[in-house]
Amino acid sequence: MNQHNSIQLTASIGISFTERREVTFEDLYREADEALYRSKNSGKNRVTLGREPILREAMKG
């Protein structure tokens, strides 16, 4: 007997990037992680871009 099973996969992705050398890997990783959780909280199955870490720090004031 040949059965066909289907599996549905979805993905939420957080992306962070910069061209500035003073931004550390940890800064980029943290921002990508936060972008990932914004994707998940916005309905899942999305791609969300993070803010550039240096701009984010400036926005904190």
Does the pLDDT of residue 2 top 80, yes or no?
A: no
Closest CA to 50 of 37, 32, 38: 32
| Predicted TM-score (pTM) above 0.95 | no
**Complete DSSP assignment for 27-43:** HHHHHHHHHHHHHHHTT
| Residue 16, CB-side half-sphere exposure with 13 Å CA sphere | 24
pLDDT digit string, tens, across residues 25-42: 998 899 999 999 999 998
Check residue 21 and give its pLDDT. Answer: 82
